[in-house]
Structures are given as C-alpha cells and as structure tokens.
Structure 1
Amino acid sequence: MTKATTAIAFAERGWYILPVTPFQKTPFFPIATHGYKSATTDIESIEKWFTRAPLLNIGIACAPSNLVVFDIDYRNGGTTEGLNLDTFTVATGDGLHLYYTAPADAKFKGKLREGVDIKHNGYVVGAGSLHESGKFYEVVKDIQPAPMMEWI
C-alpha cells in the first residue's frame, strides 16, 4: 500500500487526514497552513497531497475523527496496564498508539500516567508513516476502535 492509499483508507473510515513533514511529527505547513485544523476527509485533496509528495507522513486529527489515542511510550516507562487492548492499534517508533472512539467535544487530560499520553485535541502520526528513528508506524491490530473506557 502506498501512503496515498493508506491515507485514503483512513479518510474512508471518517478519519480526518493532514499531511505531516517527512520523518517528523509537524504538519507540512506549505499545505496544512492551519496545522491539524487543515485536516480533511476529502479524497481528492488527500490523493493529490500524497501523490505529489509521496514522502509525506500521514497525520490523523483526533477530535474531528471522533477518536482519542493513547500514546504508549515504552522508552519513558509507558505500559498498557488497565487499557482495553481489543482496539485499533499501531506500533510506533518506540511504543503503541491505541485508538478509541470518543465524541469530538469530549475532554481529556493530556496524560494518563508517566509514558502514556492522551491525544484528542490535536493529531497523531498515522500508520504508513516513517518515524524519525527509521521505523515505520505499522498497524498491528486492524479492527474498529473500541469505545473509550468509562473510567478515564
């Protein structure tokens, strides 16, 4: 799969996509002039971005996609303890992204505990992207995101 087809597949799920600078985690500002607020589900725009610049990384804007993502960073002591693992999951450079559904207007604190960040008002780098470490972000569990856990 190319980045274009991967990004389009995410958009077809209703996830809002933005172009991210290659090998980085920052929006590609020549296109994403409003940062993550430039994200769209418009297939034609997404195809154009990733066909013209195939090295771009894929960003997924969480709140408009009705997603909340737990960013588990093993390097900083993150663990999956207490989290529902039966959900859409992506292996990152040094951890996991666990995707859950949540309303766009939901409120979350930015951190669950040391090594576990909660991403909702912003974006995450999506599967198919290349991490600065040289590792690809890879889907390891391709199922529908589970509903957000009530205890959070």
Structure 2
Amino acid sequence: MKEFATLDKAIDLAQRGYAVYPLIENTKKPPKGVAGYRAATNDQNTIFAWFENHPAYNLGLRLDLSDLLVVDIDMHDPTKNGRTSLAQLFKQGKTLPNDTYIERTANGGVHYFLKYTGARTRQVGAWPGIDLLTDFTVISPSEINGKQYKPLDGRTLADIKTAPRWLVDKLMGQKVNWSSEHAYTARQKKYTGKLLDEMVNGTEQGNRNAWLTAMIGRLFATGAEPETVYELACSINERFIDQPLETKEITTIYNSILKREMKRFEQDSIRNSKIAG
C-alpha cells in the first residue's frame, strides 16, 4: 500500500464530513489510548496526529454519525456463507442495490454501504454469513495479512444508495420470513444460543475483566478447542467490549482459565479411570 495512503483517505473522508479513527496495523483493533469508534472524528489535526507517525495504521469509519449502514457478507465459512443467504433472500424478492458503494474485504467478503437513519442495532448473524453494521466498520485502504479492502468498480461513498425497505424492517425488529428450511427461530434456545446472545450484548468498561472471564469460561464449557476459545475471546474483546482490553490482558485471563480447565480435565480423567477400573 502506498505510504500515507490511509492518511490521505482519512483526510478526504473528514473533509466530506465523515468521522474516522485509527486501527493498529494489520488488525481491526484501535491503538492504546484511542477509544475505538467512539473516538472517531472529522477534525483534521487529530487525524493527522494519529497517522503521521503510523502511516501503516488501518482505518475505521463511524457509521451512526453519518446515517450509514454496512451489510457485511462473509463467504469464507461454508456453513455460514453469506452468498447462499443472499440467494435465499433474492428468491423472496429481497435484493440489495448493486449500484451502491461496495468494498471487497480482506477475507474475500463484501461490504454494501447504504444510507440508513433508523435504530442503531448492530446485528451479528442477522442471516447466516450476513452481519448488519450500524455503528462502525473497517474501510479501504485497510489491510489484513497483506490483503486490502478495495472499492468495486472505482466507486466512492458518493454512490451510496438508500437501504431497501425490507432491510430497514429487519433492523427495526420486524420479521423477515425465511423458507421453511431456514425457519430455525422457533426452535428452543440452547446453551450456546444464550451464550451468543449475551456475547453480542457486550459490556461496559467497568466490567470488562469479570465479563470476559465469564465469557471465556463459558466458551470452554461448550467443548470448543482452546485455540478456538482464544480467537473468539480476542474477537469478543474487539467487537463487543466498550474500550477493549489490551491483548496481553486477554492472554492473561485466557491462560488462567485454561490452566483451571486442564486441571479439571485431569481430575475427571482420573475419576473416570477409577470408575472404569
């Protein structure tokens, strides 16, 4: 990526009235001392100070101050493929404007940018592989693992179209029907479902450590692999905690709980062998 390309983009967005904020190079995490998207601004002096000494920083865009919505479509998980969900919606006559501003994400997904002035309710997993972002997003020219967020067809934010009515209804809490094979909402909510709901609700700064400790413990209780638990813990911290913890704090909490879980596993194994013997 061209040096200072992010600063140039940030200044351009600020001049157009958009509020932006920095993200650590190669991540979606704000640098120490920057309160995530809540620190977003269009003050050019502040933006210059952020990026002058860190030209490789990634860039975040605050959506709620600009009446924007991003439809985040992931395609890397075959069990939760956003393209499949889009096809299901299309069959119901529910489509997204293809001439709006769209970015290709670093993981091969796409971000549809739309104008939206309704309730601010970030919906992770609104449909399998589709998140609805109304608060903040990563934006071009950010990079993750050498792969860049890029606009499609040379479009700009000036090309953003209005969110369709069916999507607004979804964000406002009105039901959008699925075909029978996807009508899973009537099923009884299981342990993991309740855990995911609590995870997305997040927590505030004063309760960060205790809340994340509880979340990590409950993730282990699902039977997930330790590596999976750690990756989820980092993602939860980044997306659902007001002013995220530093990575070293997450690692400390995780290692403490992992040690406890390993001890419990050893005790259970000894107990089971005695019963079997």
Q: Please, what TM-score do these two structures have when normalized by structure 1?
A: 0.87
> Over aligned residues, Cα RMSD in angstroms?
1.7
Letter in 1 for 2:49: K
Counterpart for residue 160 of structure 2: 145
Mapping of 1:56-135 within 5 angstroms? Answer: 56-76=57-77, 77-79=81-83, 80-81=86-87, 82-93=95-106, 94-103=108-117, 106-108=119-121, 110=123, 111-121=125-135, 123-131=136-144, 133-135=145-147
Letter in 1 for 2:132: I
CA contact (8 A) 1:29 1:35 kept: no
Structure 2 CA distance for partners of 1:149 and 1:47, relative to 1, 3 Å? same
CA distance in 2, matches of 1:58, 1:9: 12
Mapping of 1:22-41 within 5 angstroms? Answer: 22-30=25-33, 32=34, 34-41=35-42
CA distance in 2, matches of 1:44, 1:107: 29
Letter in 1 for 2:140: A
Unaligned runs of 5+ in 2: 88-94, 168-277
Q: Percent identity?
A: 28
CA distance in 1, matches of 2:15, 2:161: 18
CA distance in 1, matches of 2:66, 2:161: 14
CA contact (8 A) 2:122 2:134 kept: no
Deviations 1:6-27 (A, max 9, x none): 1111222322101111111112
Rg comparison, structure with higher value = 2
Counterpart for residue 20 of structure 2: 17
Counterpart for residue 6 of structure 2: 3
CA distance in 1, matches of 2:105, 2:72: 9
Structure 2 CA distance for partners of 1:23 and 1:109, relative to 1, 3 Å? closer
CA distance in 1, matches of 2:20, 2:71: 18
Secondary structure (helix, strand or coil) at the match of 1:74 reads: coil
Structure 1 window deviating more from structure 2 (112-121 vs 73-82): it is: 73-82
Structure 2 CA distance for partners of 1:109 and 1:27, relative to 1, 3 Å? closer
Secondary structure (helix, strand or coil) at the match of 2:159 reads: coil
Report which structure shows greater RCO (CA 8 Å, sep ≥6). Answer: 1
Secondary structure (helix, strand or coil) at the match of 2:56 reads: coil
Cα shift at 1:127: 0.3
Unaligned runs of 5+ in 1: none
1:136 matches 2:148: yes
Relative to total residues, which structure has the larger helix share, 1 or 2?
2
Runs (4+) of structure 1 moved beyond 3 Å? none
CA distance in 2, matches of 1:146, 1:52: 35
Q: Please, what TM-score do these two structures have when normalized by structure 2?
A: 0.50
CA distance in 1, matches of 2:148, 2:20: 18
Structure 2 CA distance for partners of 1:126 and 1:52, relative to 1, 3 Å? same
Letter in 2 for 1:97: H
CA contact (8 A) 2:64 2:120 kept: no
Structure 2 CA distance for partners of 1:151 and 1:91, relative to 1, 3 Å? same
Aligned length: 147
Structure 2 CA distance for partners of 1:109 and 1:52, relative to 1, 3 Å? closer
